[in-house]
Amino acid sequence: MKRIYTLACVLFLALPMIAQTPIIFRPGPGLNDGTDEGGVNGGKDVFIGDADNITHGTESVFYITPISNCNNTTWITLFKFDVSTLPAEVDSVMFVINHTDPGTYCYSNCVADFHLALVTEPWSETTVIFANRPSKVSTPFYSLLNHNWNDSLHAKEYDITQTYRNWANATVPNHGFEFYSSTVGCNNAAVVLYGPTSDDTTNAGANRPYLKIYRTSTGIQSPFATQIGLQCYPNPASNQATLEFTLDAMQSIVFEMTDVTGRLIINREYLMVAGLNKITIPLSELNAGLYHYSLKTSAGKALGKLIKK
């Protein structure tokens, strides 16, 4: 006899998965002569500050601090990745930095907000300084809020998916982005974000900033999915995802999920109501990777893909 689950039932997923392998785009040191644009052999990043007002485009580390109102210790960093040779159709893109661990003490400006914002004009890592830094849009596309001075970020992933798509599809010009803090105060051993740049040569450059690109489509894959308004969110997801859809009448539906090899991970039947329905999919027990799912109703079968990050 089949077991029928109601909407309140929670799926438990504990089987191992074969993780999807992302594209890793990690630019290396270039000529540092003004021609580097963030390509694979010409990394483009620079930190600049009001302390010396010179460029640091050839250095192997970067620094980002709050805005100091008591001394010249404000630092920002500019990054650019040339995405012209990379896929335009992607599921998600993460900007990854291997952050250095924090210092051993802090006296003021110990908690700050940090942001990524689009740069709106060209710049050169050999000539840009704090005084002539390029302008940026006022609204950041990523924010790291309330970061404490002793928080260890390690290999922190920043979700830049929509910004990457805009660059790849030429919706907005790609002049890179600024990594900065909006917090104002007196910097005294303050909170600092720092780590290797594209010019780092230690450990064969394994710690340089990079893009992690998932390119298999996670969008709705069948016309019937559109018909029932099937949505899967968030996607990619970390701890859980939600399937949302609309049915014309009360009925039993079958939800299935497989891994990238086609191995069946879930096969569950639910009793759904007429109108809007939701199914919660816990993901915390799964390895990162790509999942295929299907939703079979009395009127048809909808297909989709989900990434656990």
Per-residue pLDDT reduced to its tens digit, 49-76: 999 989 999 999 999 999 999 999 999 9
The phi-psi region of residue 269 (left if phi > 0; otherwise alpha if psi is between -120 and 50; otherwise beta) is beta
CATH class of 4-20+217-308: mainly beta
The reported pLDDT for the residue numbered 6 is 37
Flag whether pLDDT at 2 surpasses 70: no
294 against 27, higher pLDDT: 27
Backbone angles phi, psi at 89, to 5 degrees: -90, 110
Q: Please give the full DSSP string across 11-63, using - where no structure is assigned.
A: ----S--PPPPPEEE-------SS---SBTTB-EEEEEETTT----TT-SEEE
The reported pLDDT for the residue numbered 8 is 33
Q: Please give the full DSSP string across 64-129, using - where no structure is assigned.
A: E-PEESSSS--EEEEEE---TTS-SS-SEEEEEEEPPPP-S--SB--EEEEEEEEB-S---TTT--
CA distance 257 to 220: 15
What pTM was computed for the model?
A: 0.68
The reported pLDDT for the residue numbered 234 is 87
Backbone angles phi, psi at 133, to 5 degrees: -60, 150
Residue 261's pLDDT band (cuts 50, 70, 90):
low
The reported pLDDT for the residue numbered 16 is 35
Residue 221's pLDDT band (cuts 50, 70, 90):
low
Average pLDDT over residues 276-285: 86
Shortest CA distance to 111 belongs to which of 54, 51, 39, 184? 184
Strands 275-282 and 264-272 come out as unpaired
Question: Using an 8 Å Cβ cutoff, are 72 and 51 in contact?
Answer: yes
Question: Using an 8 Å Cβ cutoff, are 48 and 55 in contact?
Answer: yes
Token code pair at residue 28: 């290396």
Side chain identity at residue 114, one-letter code: F
Flag whether pLDDT at 90 surpasses 90: no
Per-residue DSSP letter, 8:
T
CA distance 128 to 170: 24
Flag whether pLDDT at 285 surpasses 90: no
Shortest CA distance to 4 belongs to which of 267, 277, 242? 267
Question: Using an 8 Å Cβ cutoff, are 197 and 36 in contact?
Answer: no
Token code pair at residue 43: 């990394």
CA distance 11 to 299: 24
Strands 67-68 and 184-185 come out as parallel
The reported pLDDT for the residue numbered 231 is 86
CA distance 160 to 197: 18
Per-residue DSSP letter, 205:
G
**Residue extents of the structural domains in the chain:** 4-20+217-308, 23-214
Question: Using an 8 Å Cβ cutoff, are 294 and 255 in contact?
Answer: yes
- What burial class does residue 57 get, using C-beta atoms within 10 Å of its C-beta: 0-12 exposed, 13-18 middle, 19+ buried? buried
